[in-house]
Structure 1
Amino acid sequence: MTSTLTAADVKRHKWWGWGLDDSRFRWDNKPAFAPFAKNRVGVDLTAKDPGPDPELTDFDVPASRLPEDVREALAGIVGQENLRVDDEYRVVHSFGRSLADLFRVRSGDFARLVDAVVYPGSEEEVAAVLRLVLEKDLVLIPYGGGSCISGSVTPDVSEERPILTVNIGRMREVLDIDETAGLARIEAGAYGPDLEEQLTARGWTLGHFPDSFTYSTLGGWAATRSSGMQSDKYGDIEDIVRGMRVVHPRGTVVTKPIPGRDSGPSVHEMILGSEGRLGVITECTVQVHRIAPVRQVIAYMYPDWEHGIRGMHAIARSTDVSPTFTRLSDGPETEFSLTMVKEPTSTKGKVAAKVQDGLFAYLRSQGWDTSGEMSISYVCFEGSKEAVDAQKTIVKKIVKANGGITLGAGPGAIYDQKKFDTPYLRDFLMSYDVFGDVCDTGATWSKINEVHARVYEAYYAKLEELGLDGFMFCHMSHSYHSGACLYFTFAVPYSATEKALEEYQACKDAVQQAFVDLGSTVSHHHAVGTEHQPWITEDIGEGGVALIQGLFEGSDPGRNLNPGKIVSP
């Protein structure tokens, strides 16, 4: 069945940043934020006017290279209203949301744009588009929500062939729910909010909530091995996606959602994380869960990172609790989080602020360093009221045994409400000539403190070498039996020179190199694309790279499917 929606019904980012035009990060209602920015990054927010938003008409946008006969053929497949060659659509779909992408797009660096954006409304139309791509020797780049920060949807500047982006955002329906098996068939173009709204209406949830939830799709999650903040309970996307339909040059690939497959090397696993190089994912069969009657996020505080990690490890190893998520911010991130608190205007807010001041005074009297060492933690519980209460009691004892205290549900509720707001901060910082970016890795419990410390050392050593100011913080999330994810955020100001990206890249390279030198992963959940490709050999070895190259070359000998991503030819 072909979708009745059109390209105009598919949401997209503003061309120069994250989210919609009317969404912004504000600092003027956060009294601690401006002093923090000045002290930690050397930026005086009160001394600079960031100016108006960029206008696409201020830049020269290269014309589409799409031949007229191909344009007519594509319009015949998807309909004229679902073929877009106008400048803004092409710019939006030529960049992901990596920092390098955002800097280039805001600078008008349009060295190579896609030549058309195609919005198929069915798997049959996707297959017809792919047949045309192969017949005319075009390049096809599948596009989910465009939220990737790994360069996975950005075209190669050296590519001379016409490039198509295929956006399957018209295909976003929950097709069926097998309530006995707890499986749902969902079209791959479904954005997170659309997907959850349809499932919630029937009492179910996928439970997958990445930071990019608002602007990412099910197919994109599968194609980049996404991980959501609730993975402690619901699993990473490879645990959630049990079956797929994928349009491939040799026909549709179908993987069955049957437990305990034993059919040789896993085709299913090959496609997960393949970033469009093995075809276009059109449908996923996923595990779904009944919505829990009670959901609560509780905040805790530890005197420092080391005590917090011991607490997180104890929770992960406990046989009596199974939290939905566990998160620990280190001292610098906790300090940053406190700057994001809005100035209280209500009586309730003012009382809460006084309570916090009293708490911090008490902690200082007990020897805590409340200015930079203490680490806040959030733990989410779901289930019946009795089960949630029982698990909260156990975790409270674990936290206390590891030197922490319980703050309660108030801070946890605020965190839960604001969890998707962070990406807007990058746009804001860039308007003040500050790069803000993230790097994530996986580490075992036995090495997690070493990785945490050594990455800081590598980053600040690079800043000193370059003579730059900067700041870094980190949190632990995505807890597993053997380890967890470490998610580093860093900020570095830049001058408006040609060296800006070069200096930023040197800082990021130092962090990424520290990951692989310490035996950690090149990325925990942000894909490879082109951003992390320089470390792929160190991550999986020359033999692993050769296997992947052989797979891609055998499957796509003409290099028509998103060439250049993950591994180079």
Structure 2
Amino acid sequence: MKWWGWGQEGVAFHHHDKPGLAPFAYRMAGIDFNAPPVQVPDLAELDVPASQAPDGLRSALVEAVGAEHVHDDDLTRVVHTYGKSMRDLVRIRRGDFGRVPDLVVYPVDEAQVEAVLRTGLDSDAVLIPFGGGSNIVGSLEAPRDESRPVVSVDLGRMRSVIEVDETSQTARIQAGALGPDLEAQLNARGWTIGHFPDSFKHSTLGGWIATRSSGMQSDRFGDIADITRAVRVVTPKGVVATRAVPVQSAGPSVREMVLGSEGRLGVITEALVQVHRLAEERVILAYFFPDYGSGLRAMHDVAASDAAPSITRVSDAMETQFTMATAKKGSRLSALMSKGVKVYAEKRKGIDLDKMCLSFIGYEGSKEHVARTKRLVGEIVKKHGGFGVGSGPGTLYDQKKFDTPYIRDFILDRGAYGDVSETSSSWATLEVLHDNVVAAANKAFAEQGTQGFVFCHLSHSYHSGACQYFTFAFQPPAEGDGLAVYDAVKHAIQQAFIDNGGTLSHHHAVGREHKPWVGDDLSSAGAQIVSALFQGVDPGRNLNPGAIVD
């Protein structure tokens, strides 16, 4: 990934083929898409702190993984310093590198991971596991005042699907496998893991497990906690290897302890995961609802029905307007708001176009299953005043779903800030939580003297509730620190989650960004139990200290 932004060099967002987007951004937040971009600094011109690795530690790591797999050049170390949160990108572009890792090592198997861990513990070094580097909550950075050597343990060489058990419908996969890596290997054998987070192209199986990730098709396949059946983890106490069984009653679940542990317990080396045969049919259909509340109630009824869609997504009115603004001229998405659709919605259905909300619902499986699910969902959509508009927009959404993060770099280049926060709550609280979060963000914008917008979509449905995913963006005042404004808005949104019955995060994890709300989310006693677990496994605080709890 780029050291200064999201994704690969040479790939970037542009808006010239999306005529509605620049006016929308300027109207809603004063963001000028046509302003000349700020040039990203040349890394060679920035003052990257020198490596502080002792010779003995370097020599021992070279012995463990080989000289060609121990790196201390500036670029490699900077790439491994932070994740990709808004705060990370602002700091790194400013040359505020914090505590840069002294060494980056690339083990190739579990034996080498064990050797690296033993070496790190013997040298009292800090070890931070690294997958794809896409984390956005501060899970990858060392404490800024850390005086001990810091080693980033990159699992990028450990990316193989080891075996597929077709009878049990499971696969053993090394933890460093990026989403495209493991899907390509599984697809070649006719299987899929079915896990597609926004970060899919730049995140790994181990990272998904360490942060309790969810994918876009979790309604069908489950989130990573459901998908992961067993794990292998190198810890200070030895290699933890949980059994490859579907369910067990063997005391507190060690597998569950590893899920979401963010490197505090050890280095995940491989996992046994559920896999599914590639579907006979897969389609995503687009629908419109009269308003967000109608869409939420429809998703509730879908979750309570016999229908089993793979994706349930509904955007609020503001996100719907944003989505329409991103449409290319003459595209299938722009056709959604054609004169005919507007007339049908307004005249025939009595819908206020300013309140109308776009929804995508996915169907996957056998032809019979897809047909039945589409019929059941169609009845529920109609009951709540909605109507379908076909598969064209859904196909486009499916093709472009991993490109959205590039927009954040584009607006940051123009001095604006944008980020995301997500939560889950019960069906009974969803609409009130949505309205109160939007109100809290808008109040924070006003208090900070800035113009901004916030919008949301429901992204994952469950039996008792759903995830809501909020996006916000603003143009900071000409005077002052944009990060201070960002902190105020982000804090207001997170606090509104807690105050309205939500969790601090549905799938982005805790890291350092969300740590202030751990006690509220888990209770004080629960946070103490988590802290005691980390202390018991890693009394020297060598494994990613500072993540989740202090």
TM category (shorter chain) comes to over 0.9
Paired residues in the alignment total 549
- What is the alpha-carbon distance in structure 2 between the residues aligned to residue 108 and residue 274 of structure 1? 29
Which residue of the other structure, out of 267, 273, 290, is the alignment partner of 1:286? 273
Summarize deviations over 1:190-220 as a string: whole Å, max 9, x none.
0000000000000000000000000000000
Kept in 1: contact 2:327–2:333 (CA 8 A): no
Q: What residue in structure 2 maps to residue 180 of structure 1?
A: 167
Kept in 1: contact 2:424–2:465 (CA 8 A): yes
Kept in 1: contact 2:327–2:334 (CA 8 A): no
% identical equivalent positions: 52
Summarize deviations over 1:274-293 as a string: whole Å, max 9, x none.
00010000000000000111
Answering whether residue 75 of structure 2 is matched by residue 88 of structure 1, we say yes
Summarize deviations over 1:540-562 as a string: whole Å, max 9, x none.
11101110111111111111000
Q: What residue in structure 2 maps to residue 31 of structure 1?
A: 19
Partner SS, residue 523 of structure 2? helix
Kept in 1: contact 2:18–2:325 (CA 8 A): yes
Name the stretch that deviates more: 354-363 or 184-193.
354-363
Name the stretch that deviates more: 544-553 or 355-364.
355-364
Report matched runs for 1:107-506 at 5 Å.
107-319=94-306, 321-344=307-330, 349=331, 353=335, 356-366=338-348, 367-370=350-353, 372-495=354-477, 499-506=481-488
- What is the alpha-carbon distance in structure 2 between the residues aligned to residue 415 and residue 159 of structure 1? 43
- What is the alpha-carbon distance in structure 2 between the residues aligned to residue 479 and residue 487 of structure 1? 12
Deviation at 1:360, TM superposition (A): 1.2
Q: What residue in structure 2 maps to residue 547 of structure 1?
A: 529
TM-score calculated relative to the size of structure 2 = 0.98
Summarize deviations over 1:485-518 as a string: whole Å, max 9, x none.
0100000112566621111101000000011111
> CA 1:566/1:99 → structure 2, altered by over 3 Å: closer, same or farther?
same
Kept in 2: contact 1:433–1:496 (CA 8 A): no
Summarize deviations over 1:396-451 as a string: whole Å, max 9, x none.
11111110000111111111111111110110110111111011000100111110
1:72 is matched by which residue type in structure 2? S
Unpaired stretches in structure 2, ≥5 consecutive residues = none
Deviation at 1:107, TM superposition (A): 0.9
> CA 1:474/1:350 → structure 2, altered by over 3 Å: closer, same or farther?
closer
Q: What residue in structure 2 maps to residue 65 of structure 1?
A: 52
1:541 is matched by which residue type in structure 2? S
2:233 is matched by which residue type in structure 1? V
Unpaired stretches in structure 1, ≥5 consecutive residues = 1-12
- What is the alpha-carbon distance in structure 2 between the residues aligned to residue 157 and residue 498 of structure 1? 24
TM-score calculated relative to the size of structure 1 = 0.95
Name the stretch that deviates more: 352-361 or 105-114.
352-361
1:206 is matched by which residue type in structure 2? I
Summarize deviations over 1:33-91 as a string: whole Å, max 9, x none.
11001100112222x21043332122111100011221121111111111110001100
> CA 1:75/1:462 → structure 2, altered by over 3 Å: closer, same or farther?
same
Deviation at 1:363, TM superposition (A): 1.9
Deviation at 1:111, TM superposition (A): 2.7
2:111 is matched by which residue type in structure 1? E
Name the stretch that deviates more: 36-45 or 295-304.
36-45
Q: What residue in structure 1 maps to residue 9 of structure 2?
A: 21
- What is the alpha-carbon distance in structure 2 between the residues aligned to residue 509 and residue 354 of structure 1? 36
- What is the alpha-carbon distance in structure 2 between the residues aligned to residue 350 and residue 503 of structure 1? 37
Q: What residue in structure 2 maps to residue 104 of structure 1?
A: 91
Report matched runs for 1:528-543 at 5 Å.
528-543=510-525
> CA 1:153/1:375 → structure 2, altered by over 3 Å: closer, same or farther?
same
1:30 is matched by which residue type in structure 2? K
Summarize deviations over 1:269-317 as a string: whole Å, max 9, x none.
1111000010000000000000111000010000110111111111111
> CA 1:93/1:247 → structure 2, altered by over 3 Å: closer, same or farther?
same
Kept in 2: contact 1:243–1:257 (CA 8 A): yes
Q: What residue in structure 2 maps to residue 79 of structure 1?
A: 66
Kept in 2: contact 1:443–1:521 (CA 8 A): yes
- What is the alpha-carbon distance in structure 2 between the residues aligned to residue 221 and residue 139 of structure 1? 22
Deviation at 1:252, TM superposition (A): 0.5
Kept in 1: contact 2:39–2:413 (CA 8 A): no
Tell me how large the CA RMSD over aligned residues is.
1.4
Runs of 4+ in 1 over 6 A off after TM superposition: none
1:369 is matched by which residue type in structure 2? D
